[in-house]
Amino acid sequence: MFTSNKSIDCLHGVSDPMECKLTRKGEEYAGFTNVARNGEKCQPWLSQTPNKHSTLLLLPMFPDPGIDSRHSYCRNPSNYAGGPWCYTETGTGLHECEIPFCWDFLMKSALKGNPMLDLDCRLTEMGKEYVGIVHVTESRTPCLSWDLQPYGKTDDFDIEISYEKHFHWGDPSKHRNYCRNPTSKNRPWCFVHDLEKKWEYCDVPLCPIA
């Protein structure tokens, strides 16, 4: 069962987040499903009723550009093994959501040997879900490795969250020097070897309609 203010379709254009997940854990999922697998309606993330929780500490891990009082969509900011989940308005504890795989993307890239690294486009405007292998900026400047943290924790990193936890899987080294958006910039970016600029945006295109 799905409830959404958009049509449920794994073949969305990128103007609407895709209603499917690319990975088993679905940390990149940014769709509009807002009911748990058991049919219970999800509790808004900013609400502490009926479930009190500390998930707000994980806000940098949400793939959304922002979260308001109406946001009750299934997400996986905690790297939960069962995939996207939510607290519900009638139950206690977290409840898993039924989010299908984006088989069209996965099958196409799996044929080329790697289902994640072949997806060199972003599903959303901000591209917080992007885990491809573009590693140069728009000016063709090489990206620096994320684990070097060359300029410390710059202003747009949440001061209450460790540098590592801003990244999917909680490990910057796994992202090498690939373009990412671990903060709230407009689109994927990376650090560059330039003391004045420090970082630049990358040219990661929006995924075409499948």
Q: Read off the pLDDT of residues 103-125 as tens digits, 9 standing for 90 and up.
A: 655 555 544 544 444 457 887 88
Q: Domain check: are 103 and 128 in the same one? A: no
Structural domain boundaries enclosing 197: 120-210
Domain co-membership, 95 together with 186 = no
**Do 163 and 193 share a domain, yes or no?**
yes
| Residue pLDDT, tens place only, 12-22 | 333 456 788 87
Total domains in the fold of the chain = 2
Give the residues across from 9 on adjacent strands: none
Whether the model clears a pTM of 0.85, i.e. scores above it, the answer is no
* Domain end among 112, 143, 165: 112
User: pLDDT tens digits, residue range 17-55?
Assistant: 678 887 778 888 888 999 999 999 999 999 999 999 988
**Same-domain check for residues 152 and 196:** yes
Q: Are residue 48 and residue 98 in the same domain, yes or no?
A: yes
> Are 139 and 161 members of one domain?
yes
